């Protein structure tokens, strides 16, 4: 496409970046995207999604889905460029880049609608950051009749023009836990009359650190991090209760289940020595982002026509794109968005995407959507 096309897309991204909306509140973002898609003459499907939406180009089977997430984070931006957010939220994970590239791909695919070998489904997904958006899309029929789905996340440690891919696990399964310890409050001078919930919590936290180092194979990757402890309010009172929370990351269903079982044993057994009770709450979080072993090598090779494609190591961050991959074959890539040695990482308040990365992201959607339509048209007839 022309330079003017990508200049227009950059301006659209800047507009979206300046007006971020956090998960499940992407109302103005959804309205803006819907208007843009409608003006292209692309049909929008009726769903009960409160934010986000699904649209289609073409007709019949096969159906290939393209997904972009649209939510921002509750982070105050410290960038000072003209289009920086001023509303207290921030596209610190680059979802403004994702949705803009899907808009660009939609425009190019709509222009080829008469030659499409099936249907392209566009999924503008809400609430990825809170790990519920993909499930909402699925519950609203977003994967009905879909043969395969592709998506990506921008990656600031790859340069514009680069794509990172790998078969099998590319992002981790995420477990979110909150552990509450309860007992009897008392005076700090007489701990024998009450429950030392502070010591119970810190002992559990210390014991849990041995789970990775002493029960997981050194050839497996896993992470356990306690990130928040809340217990007590003053210096001379033993609090009645407190809690801690954190996350575990893993790359296989077996390791994930082992971590949950081992963590549960540590948490449930340790408080007995302190006469405390315990409760574990598990959040609804993504499974492993697992790239299809047949389609990923094909996308890897096909993408070499327009980008430098490299095999990457798995990331310990999570993605609710995994929910789609539990249902149908899917390929999830990492697309270079910065590449500077000092580039801020995802979720940082100075995170910055380079506009020159847009062409590769748009082509990733367009070229691979067309490729997969032809691939499934042939294989499903065979």
For residue 343, the 8-state DSSP code is P
Per the annotation, does 187 bind a ligand? no
Bridge partners of 222, per DSSP, are 250
Rg of the chain over CA atoms, in angstroms? 23
Per the annotation, does 129 bind a ligand? yes
Query: What span, in angstroms and rounded, lies between the C-alpha atoms of 202 and 209?
Result: 11
Per the annotation, does 228 bind a ligand? no
Between the CA of residue 58 and those of 62, 140, 141, 365, 373, what are the distances in Å? 10, 20, 18, 15, 11
Query: What span, in angstroms and rounded, lies between the C-alpha atoms of 70 and 259?
Result: 31
Query: What span, in angstroms and rounded, lies between the C-alpha atoms of 245 and 225?
Result: 9
Nearest to 64 by CA among 382, 357, 364, 329: 329
Between the CA of residue 268 and those of 81, 181, 248, 264, what are the distances in Å? 50, 10, 17, 6
Per the annotation, does 95 bind a ligand? yes
- Contact indicator for 266, 204 with CB cutoff of 8 Å: yes
Map tokens 């081992």 to a residue: 262
Per the annotation, does 93 bind a ligand? yes
Burial class (CB in 10 A: 0-12, 13-18, 19+), 148: buried
Query: What span, in angstroms and rounded, lies between the C-alpha atoms of 369 and 345?
Result: 29
Q: Which residues make up each annotated binding site?
A: 93, 95, 129, 153, 347
Q: Which residues make up each annotated binding site for Mn(2+)?
A: 93, 95, 129, 153, 347
């Amino acid at each position: 496409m022309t330079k003017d096309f990508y200049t227009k897309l950059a301006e659209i991204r800047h507009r979206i970046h300046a007006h971020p909306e956090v998960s499940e509140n992407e109302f103005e973002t959804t309205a803006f995207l819907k208007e843009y898609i409608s003006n292209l003459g692309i049909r929008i499907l009726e769903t009960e999604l409160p934010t986000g939406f699904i649209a289609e180009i073409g007709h019949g089977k096969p159906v290939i889905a393209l997904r972009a997430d649209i939510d921002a984070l509750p982070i105050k931006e410290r960038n000072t460029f003209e289009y920086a957010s001023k509303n207290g939220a921030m596209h610190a994970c680059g979802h403004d880049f994702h949705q803009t590239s899907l808009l660009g791909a939609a425009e190019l695919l709509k222009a080829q609608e008469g030659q499409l070998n099936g249907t392209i489904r566009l999924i503008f997904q809400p609430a990825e950051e809170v790990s519920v958006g993909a499930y909402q899309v699925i519950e609203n029929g977003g994967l009905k009749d879909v043969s395969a789905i592709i998506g990506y996340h921008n990656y600031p440690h790859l340069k514009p023009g680069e794509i990172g891919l790998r078969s099998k696990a590319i992002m981790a399964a995420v477990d979110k836990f909150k552990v509450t310890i309860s007992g009897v409050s008392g005076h700090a001078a007489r701990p024998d009359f009450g429950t030392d919930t502070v010591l119970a919590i810190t002992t559990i936290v210390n014991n849990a650190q041995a789970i990775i180092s002493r029960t997981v194979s050194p050839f497996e990757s896993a992470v356990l991090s306690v990130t928040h402890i809340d217990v007590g309010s003053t210096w001379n009172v033993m609090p009645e209760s407190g809690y801690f929370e954190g996350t575990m990351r893993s790359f296989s269903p077996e390791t994930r289940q082992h971590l949950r079982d081992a963590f549960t044993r540590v948490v449930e057994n340790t408080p007995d020595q302190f006469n405390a009770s315990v409760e574990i709450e598990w959040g609804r979080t993504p499974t492993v982002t697992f790239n299809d072993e047949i389609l990923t090598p094909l996308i890897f090779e096909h993408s070499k026509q327009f980008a430098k494609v490299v095999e990457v190591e798995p990331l310990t961050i999570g993605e609710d794109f995994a929910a789609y991959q539990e249902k149908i074959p899917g390929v999830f890539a990492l697309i270079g968005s910065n590449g500077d040695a000092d580039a801020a990482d995802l979720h940082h308040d100075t995170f910055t995407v380079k506009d020159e990365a847009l062409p590769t992201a748009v082509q990733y959607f367009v070229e691979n959507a067309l490729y997969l339509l032809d691939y499934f048209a042939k294989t499903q007839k065979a």
